[in-house]
Amino acid sequence: MQYIKDSISIITPNYNYSNFIGQTIESVIFQDNKNVEHIIVDDGSNDNSVEVIRIYQANYPQIIKLIQQKNQGQTPAINAGLRLASGDILGWINSDDYYSDNILSEVEEVFNDNPEIDIVYGNFNVVDIDGKYIYTKRHFKFSFIESCFLGFGNTLTSNCIFWRKRLIEKTGLLNENLKCNMDGEYFSRLTQNANIYFLDKSIANFRQQEVSLAGRNNPQWKEIVKYEINLEKVNSYNRLKIAKLVPYKFGKHLRYYFIAKRFLKKLIRLDYYKIYKSKQRYNSKYIASK
């Protein structure tokens, strides 16, 4: 496949999110950076998602590519999009989330100015079901060993990470046997020995919902989540040099050290206070008025 240097390919898996997918698409097409393609993989939706997507595609055919497939799950949908991506820079955002205004040009600028950089990631905003801002979740400078113990889904977030397509040649695609932690497991492979840049800005907006669609349809969801996260931690730790000397069952106690370290860093940075005040403002503005 021909790559387009320094262009961005955004992958969006969609299943029955017709009420949100429009905002996701608009957050891509209305960026100030037009050197972008948006590949949307509809995973057999039975609502009017495809109709909504096609309306945008008709108006922005140079940006939006629609792939339709029978329902196979989120992970195969993401992989289908990654296989067709033509951009040199890849990103993935789910169909109920959306990007911050004009953020893609800043991400592209980091890559352009730093050819050695493999991955750029940042923070995200938490919004309610209606897209109203609640608070900002800030990350820290990335540490692979810390992520091995805390979970890569806690130190990185799928809707605010971008990577060079060249990394796929080394890491491959997402593991389609995983149901819920496909992102954490993938990032555990993607980030190892990679050059990573932390952009301390809110890249995307995460829509807070009580339970995901997948969780609602699977009564064993919590057990699956626990199993897959533990599998990611064990496998990523076993790739460290220290694993040859200290097996995971002993090394895992380092997790408490990293938890305490992160807790103190958040205290110093006033994260808990800022989130508390932000939630208070949200509650007084929106909840109290209902």
Within 10 A of 190 (CB to CB), how many other CB atoms are there?
24
Angstrom distances, CA of residue 113 to CA of 108, 184, 199: 9, 28, 13
Token pair of 266, please? 């958040």
pLDDT of residue 5 exceeding 60: no
222-241: b (≥16 Cβ within 10 Å) or e: eebbeebbebbbeebbeebe
What the chain holds in terms of domains, given with CATH numbers, is: 7-287 (3.90.550.10)
Cα 159 from chain centroid (whole Å)? 3
Token pair of 65, please? 């590519």
Token pair of 98, please? 């959306």
Number of H helices, E strands in the chain: 13, 9
Q: What is the pTM of this model?
A: 0.92
Q: What is the pLDDT of residue 3?
A: 46
1 pLDDT band, cuts 50/70/90, is very low
Contact 54/66 with Cβ under 8 angstroms? yes
Q: What is the distance between the alpha carbons of residues 279 and 48, in angstroms, rounded to a whole number?
A: 34
Express each pLDDT in 110-141 by its tens digit. Answer: 999 999 999 999 999 999 999 999 999 999 99
User: DSSP characters for 261-279?
Assistant: HHHHHHHHTTHHHHHHHHH
Q: Nearest Cα to 165, choosing from 88, 79, 104, 92?
A: 88
Percent of the chain with pLDDT over 70: 94
Q: What is the distance between the alpha carbons of residues 259 and 228, in angstroms, rounded to a whole number?
A: 20
- Sorted by sequence, the CB contacts under 8 Å of residue 108 that are 6+ apart come out as 6, 8, 33, 35, 89
Angstrom distances, CA of residue 159 to CA of 26, 128, 241, 245, 264: 15, 16, 30, 36, 26
287 pLDDT band, cuts 50/70/90, is confident
Express each pLDDT in 169-197 by its tens digit. Answer: 889 999 999 988 999 999 999 999 999 99
Q: Over the chain, what is the mean pLDDT?
A: 92
User: DSSP characters for 82-128?
Assistant: HHH--EEEEEE--TT-EEPTT-HHHHHHHHHH-TT--EEEEEEEEE-
72 pLDDT band, cuts 50/70/90, is very high
Q: What is the pLDDT of residue 289?
A: 63
Give the H or E element holding residue 254.
helix 254-268
Contact 189/152 with Cβ under 8 angstroms? no
